[in-house]
């Protein structure tokens, strides 16, 4: 492996880890009980949970509504 390949692989892995924890925290904040623990084994579920809108009445939904104004 060359130096450039090593740097690129560490950079991409770091981006993957940051994105994975960001999406996980968004899914947890939206209180998706099925998608949150299921994402440990299949991270695609966290993407679905982060993309779905938050149920009304949650703190996450009210904070998002205040930001949109």
| Band (46; pLDDT cuts 50, 70, 90) | confident
d(CA 10, CA 53): 33
Tell me, what's the pLDDT at 67? Answer: 65
Tell me, what's the pLDDT at 63? 66
Mean pLDDT throughout 39-53?
Answer: 77
At how many degrees (to 10) do helices 3-29 and 44-51 cross? 50
């Amino acid at each position: 492996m060359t130096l450039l390949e090593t740097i690129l692989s560490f950079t991409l892995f770091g981006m993957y880890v940051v994105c994975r924890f960001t999406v996980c925290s968004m899914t947890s904040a939206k209180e998706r009980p099925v998608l949150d623990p299921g994402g440990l084994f299949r991270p695609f579920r966290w993407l679905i949970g982060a993309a779905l809108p938050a149920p009304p009445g949650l703190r996450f939904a009210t904070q998002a509504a205040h930001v949109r104004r």
